[in-house]
Amino acid sequence: MGSVVRGNDIHHLLKGFYSNKMGYMIIENNSFHDDYLYGIDPHTGTHDMIIRNNKVHHNNATAVVCSKDCYNILIEGNEAYNNLDTHRGIAFSVNSDHSIAQNNYVHDQDICIGVNRFSDYNEIYNNTLSDCNTAIDLTDTSNNIVYENKIVGAKDGLVLKSVTNKIFNNKIYNSTNGIVLIHTSNNNEIANIDSTNYDTIYTHFLDQVNTGNEVKDTKNPITVITNPVKSETDFAQTDFENNTKLIEEGIKNNFI
């Protein structure tokens, strides 16, 4: 690695950290807070960067966001919380690929971790996410892997409006909705080898989803939204027993 930013208290700036086309850098053990926009913002082709063990809070935009053609970014061991209500704790956005978010603690955010706008081939794992409206959001993205995350006290645990992602071995507790599948989702694989349930959903917009993520004390383990404006289908916890199969044709549901 080249440059290192370590052990600083960075606050009341436009952005706590910003980079453009920079690589081979470590940002660690800093505090970023009370900045006008983002806490940490690797941008526009930034690559091969490690962001670890930072505390990022009370900024007016996303705590840590990799945006616009970033790649090979490792985000690990950070705590992000209480950044502006409508923003995220950690985000990969606008074609930011082949990066990792692991072992982070994100809480009290609108979205704890978000991957969107054609950011593909990222890994989200072993994070603890609590008290967010949405713990993990995948929108317009593909070929990401999301596994071994612990989610507590979210409105929505995992929201998928994407294709060809793999979701497995996540634990979702005390949340309103466990897994939310939006009507444009396709070919996502959702599984958990530790679960006692093996539920299969076939719909007109999902080729096949095998779901066994551990979802406990959650009102709706799986919610399928067939039309975000007019129709929402909730599958309550009591409707999902071992080896349950749901067939959906249009918006008509038949339990067999």
88 contacts 111 by C-beta, under 8 angstroms:
yes
As given in the structure block, the two tokens for residue 98 are 């082949």
- Give the model's pLDDT for residue 245: 31
Look at residue 7 and tell me whether its pLDDT is greater than 50.
Answer: yes
CA 26 – CA 64 distance, rounded (Å):
14
| SS3 call for 163 | strand
Taking only the tens place, the pLDDT of each residue in 164-183 is 888 988 999 999 998 888 86
pLDDT average, residue stretch 110-121:
95
Question: In percent, how much of the chain has pLDDT > 90?
Answer: 61
Do the strands 252-255 and 245-249 form a parallel or antiparallel pair, or are they unpaired? antiparallel
- Give the model's pLDDT for residue 87: 85
As given in the structure block, the two tokens for residue 39 are 């806490």
Question: In percent, how much of the chain has pLDDT > 70?
Answer: 75
- Give the model's pLDDT for residue 202: 31
Taking only the tens place, the pLDDT of each residue in 27-60 is 999 999 999 999 999 999 999 999 999 999 999 9
pLDDT average, residue stretch 11-30:
98
Mean model confidence pLDDT for the chain: 81
CA 154 – CA 158 distance, rounded (Å):
9
pLDDT band at 190; cut points 50, 70, 90: low
Taking only the tens place, the pLDDT of each residue in 193-229 is 332 233 333 333 343 344 557 787 777 777 777 654 4
Query: Residue 23's beta-bridge partner residues?
Result: 47
**Cα–Cα–Cα angle for 6, 31, 117, rounded to 5 degrees:** 95
